[in-house]
Amino acid sequence: MSIFSGDSRSTWADAFIAGIPYAVASGMKVTELGKGTVSLYQPARDTWTGDSELQMIHTGCLSVLADTACGLAVGAAMDTPEPIATLDLRMDYLRPAMANTELVCKAECYRLSRSIGFVRGQVFQIGQDEPVATVNATFMRATANTRRKDMAAAAPAGADAKAALTPTQAAASLSSPASIEPSPVFISQRADVPESLALPPGRSPYVDFLDIHQQMQIDAGPIFRLPFKRELIGNPVLPALHGGVLAGFGETAMILHLTNTNPAIKGVPRGIDFAIAYMRSAKPADTFVQGTTVRQGNRVALVQVSIWQDDPQRPVAQARGHCLMPRDEG
């Protein structure tokens, strides 16, 4: 039996967005909603610029918007809301998204089984007929939805567990948001390692927003650190970092890995596609990533990244993607 009417589904969707710190910080808003379909709007901001010289939106911003929209589509496909978690997400970047433009992701849950939701969607720049990216994602249903008692304990499978609350429960959770602080038990094991900003300030406003630091240069390539801040939370109930933020961090590390391991290249590699698989929820703590070049040709490179928190041997997610290498005009 469905508890959703048209009005209650809209109330739930608005509460869903309002309960996600990252979505609130980015100004996301549901503009259309149906049974298993959603259009999610994100306003233009200079913060989303990935390259100040080329004036392009960082592809990680598209991933966060797409992941959020896909989660909404799964929730909107259900007769009774329940917790869900992103299992995997794949982005294909069809053309560059120009900076300081509004975005909308249109997502559809086209198959909802007893255990899994399957979603596809497209990301558009407002006013443009052709999409800048496509997304395909899968979500696990009926995941854990209780607040962590011990931050050092093993987390349940599925990195971006989203609480699909009833409209009444969602509204109540907004009136008394839980405090989200990093666990003192879960302090970075590499906190004493010398590090620097991954890029000079202003080079990439999105990298500045994430405050990514580069820790060490070793044979396999540098390690990058994403400091925890509340705006990166995707599930305030567990709590857990937003799965789209992990994707954006992984995509950033993929590009930075190529520029660090290819110092002779002129320009910045550009993402062609990106696929991420989530293994466990990411706690409210500093997060690390390291990349490996799987294959590099004259025009295209394939990079794999591993994302972890307390233990490199227990990654919270793993991802890989193809990048278009800058042309040598010389």
Domain count, the chain: 1
193 domain-assigned: yes
pLDDT band at 328 (very low <50, low <70, confident <90, very high): low
- In this predicted model, what pLDDT tens digit does every residue of 17-72 receive, in sequence order? 998 999 999 999 999 999 999 999 999 999 999 988 889 999 999 999 999 999 99
Average pLDDT score over residue span 184-190: 41
Domain that holds residue 250: 6-171+186-324
The whole-number pLDDT of residue 33 equals 95
Q: How far apart are alpha carbons 258 and 264 in whole angstroms?
A: 11
Query: Cβ distance 34 to 43 under 8 Å?
Result: no
> At 317, which CATH number?
2.40.160.210
Measured distance CA(328)–CA(330) in Å, rounded = 5
Q: What is the pTM of this model?
A: 0.84
Does a structural domain hold residue 17? yes
In-domain check, residue 99: yes
Q: Judge whether 181 lies within some domain.
A: no
Report how far residue 44's alpha carbon sits from residue 86's, in angstroms, rounded to the nearest whole number: 26
Integer-rounded Cα Rg, in Å, for the chain is: 19
Torsion angle in degrees (nearest 10) through CA of 242, 243, 244, 246: 100
Q: How far apart are CA 298 and CA 159, in angstroms?
A: 35
pLDDT tens figures, 201-251: 999 999 999 999 998 666 667 899 999 999 999 888 888 999 999 999 999
Closest CA to 234 of 300, 196, 270, 281: 281
Is 36 part of any domain? yes
